Amino acid sequence: MFDDRSDENTPRFNPPNAPVMVVGLRHAVFLSPDGEIEELPHGAAAKRARSTRPILVHTPACARRLKTDPFPAHDLLELFAFVRPAQFCVPTPRGIALATGQKPCDDLIGQAEAL
C-alpha cells in the first residue's frame, strides 16, 4: 500500500537541473533553471540541445523542427504517458498545459514557463 507520509529521511524528487526548450517554426526558446530566457535560431538551438539535454515535449518532433537527429532530452510527453497512460494529450507544450489543467499560452516564452 502507498504511504504518503514523509519525514526528513524520505528521499525527495529533484527535477533535472536543465533548461526548458520550446521549438517554434522560426526559432526556439530556452528557459534556464534560474529563469533566464534566450531565443535562438534553429541551428544554434540544435547545437545547444545536443549539449544540454533540455526538458521538452516530444523529442522526435523537436529534432525534426530543428533539422537534426534526435538528441538526449527529458521528454515531458514520455513522463505524462507513464503517469497517466489512459489520458489523451496532444503532443505539444500547449497539449501538456491543457492536460494538466493549466491555461495554454500561444507564445513560446509562455509555453516554456508552463513546462
DSSP string, 11-74: ------S--EEEE-SSEEEEE-TTS-EEEEEHHHHHHHHHHH--EES-HHHHHHHTTS-----E
Q: Assess whether pLDDT exceeds 70 at residue 36.
A: yes
Quick one: pLDDT at residue 2? 42
pLDDT of residue 1: 40
Tell me the pTM. Answer: 0.84
- How many Å from the N-terminal Cα to the C-terminal Cα in the chain? 31
Please give the grid coordinates belonging to residue 41.
Answer: 535560431
- Amino acid sitting at position 76: L
Read off the pLDDT band of 11 (50, 70, 90).
Answer: low
